[in-house]
Amino acid sequence: MLKVFYCVLSRDITLALRRRTDVLTTLFFFIIVVSLFPLGVGSEREQLRMLGPGVVWVAALLASMLALERLFAADYDDGTLEQLLLTGQPLALLVLGKVVAHWLLTGLPLVLIAPLVAMQYHLSGTAIWVMMAALALGTPVLSLIGAIGAALTLGLRGGGILLSLLILPLYVPVLVYGAGAVSVSAIEIADTQPYFYLLSAFLMGSALLAPLAAAAALRISLE
Amino acid sequence: MTINWFKFASPAAFYPIAGRLIPWFSRVALALVLIGLFWGFFLTADQLGGSNPQKEYYRIIYVHVPAAWMSMWLYLVLAGWSAIGLVFNTRLSFMMAKAVAPTGAIFTFLALWTGALWGRPSWGTYWDWDPRLTSELLLFFLYIGYIALHSAIDDTRRADRAAALLAIVGLVMVPVIFLSINCPDPNQCAALHQRSDPGSIHLSILIPMLTMTLGLWSYSFAAVFARLRTIILTRESDNAWVRDVIAQETTA
């Protein structure tokens, strides 16, 4: 079982590393969106410090959503996905492998670049650490939930826009508690604990349920 | 005696029944809505007491609250028929789910609209990020997502099943979404928790409100059945009985 998981994971990562621009596009999209806000709302330090957590999280939501389209699309186009369905291995496990690979390529870079964009918003040192931890817990949830939407919209025209309509409302809890943790850390660091409990709970729940739902969605889409 | 649970799961069997039920539900809906509105608008106190006294404009709750209740109830109905469709693979269940979605979305919109109209005199603004209004807005997005996904897929079978799965995923997420909106700061949840206990509403207000709710419920049956009949005719248009029905209705 683990072997299958590892096999899908390493295959997807190898493929992606041979086309590095895809990974970098998501990353630069994130940086550009975050950099645009101060140009729009003004560059006053206090104001930016207030807006920072929310802006970074919304940008992370959009970046991870844009990358989702590619989660199954290439495999769907060249028929690999059908072969995966026919392998006789548990489909949810294969989906989980693909999602983990997807997160390593699009979510993890966002976590690592977060300190840089946080500095644009004059966030304090503790806030930056909290933001990295919250993103590390929250972005996998985004990839997991998003996989369901990506599987449902497979091969549809205008799939990208449709995908955003389907899954952005489902991202709300992660956004609320992810950004909330960073905001609260500026006041009292101990208060961030319940936020992390909730984010961890979301991660556990979605890691358990989302691959099953995404596998069911793939079966529906490929019937 | 064995009961055939699936007798009316056949579109051909349900089509005439739905047709016969529509006039009754429409009449009941019209009567109950008229009674409820008249009662609520003219026969109840013109001022709401308590710590937050409100004048005439509070009467919008006779539309707002029933619409909000119906919008949430219809999402349950939508997800319920979707689940039944996925489990039993009955075509009519998916058609039912599809027929419910627009009515639910309309009630959600109505709740948001009346909420905004009530917010203007009482909060001084049309929109406030009040947890109840925000939850209703998210519910509206969920309805729109269902309708958009269904209409984006040309293949009926795939559209039905994909949208059904989305509705169920949405239903699982709804409690979490509402929790996060109602309690954005988990350190102070107990203080922020909103209490909407129907028992705390005065009877003279609750009864016209329930009358309105039953009226809107009845309307939902009529509207959903009417939409369902159109969906049945469109989808079953290859069958002989549909041709007979159309021949009858065009000659009559």
What would the DSSP string read from start to end of A151-182?
HHTTT-TTHHHHHHHHHGGGGHHHHHHHHHHH
Is A129 in a helix, a strand, or coil? helix
d(CA B91, CA B231) in angstroms, rounded, equals 11
B159 in A contact zone (CB under 8 Å): no
Interchain contact, B145 vs A165, CB within 8 Å: yes
Residue A88 is encoded by which pair of tokens?
Answer: 């006789």
Q: Give the best residue of A170, A197, A203 to mutate against chain B (max B CB count within 10 A).
A: A170
* Chain B residues within 8 A of A171 when measuring between CB atoms: none
Average pLDDT over residues A82-105: 89
- Return phi, psi of residue A88, to 5°: 85, -5
Closest chain B C-alpha to A14 CA, distance in angstroms: 31
The domain locations on chain A are: 2-222
Residue pairs between chains A and B whose CB atoms are closer than 8 Å: 79
* Chain B residues within 8 A of A173 when measuring between CB atoms: 173, 176-177, 179-180
User: DSSP character for A24?
Assistant: H
d(CA A38, CA A55) in angstroms, rounded, equals 10
Residue B41 is encoded by which pair of tokens?
Answer: 């608008």
The pLDDT assigned to B252 comes to: 67
For the stretch B10-20, pLDDT in tens is 888 888 888 88
- Mean confidence (pLDDT) of chain B: 86
Is B153 in a helix, a strand, or coil? coil
Closest CB to B152 among A156, A191, A213: A156
Residues 6 or more apart in contact with residue A27 via CB below 8 angstroms: A63, A106, A109, A110, A113
Residues 6 or more apart in contact with residue B240 via CB below 8 angstroms: none
Closest chain A C-alpha to B154 CA, distance in angstroms: 9
Q: Which residue of A has its CA nearest to B168?
A: A213
Q: What percent of chain B has pLDDT over 70?
A: 91
Tell me the residue type at A77: D
**In the predicted model, is pLDDT for residue B53 greater than 80?**
no
**In the predicted model, is pLDDT for residue B50 greater than 80?**
no
What percent helix, strand, coil does chain B show, rounded to 5?
80, 0, 15
- Mean confidence (pLDDT) of chain A: 89
The pLDDT assigned to A119 comes to: 87
Interchain contact, A152 vs B145, CB within 8 Å: no
Instruction: Supply the angle between the helices A193-222 and A91-102 in degrees, to the nearest 10.
Output: 120
ipTM of the complex: 0.89
**In the predicted model, is pLDDT for residue B238 greater than 90?**
no
For the stretch B142-151, pLDDT in tens is 999 999 999 9
Best CA proximity match to B235, nearest among B81, B92, B21, B85: B92
For the stretch B65-101, pLDDT in tens is 999 999 999 999 999 999 999 998 888 999 999 999 9
Residue count of chain A, please give it: 223
d(CA A25, CA A32) in angstroms, rounded, equals 10
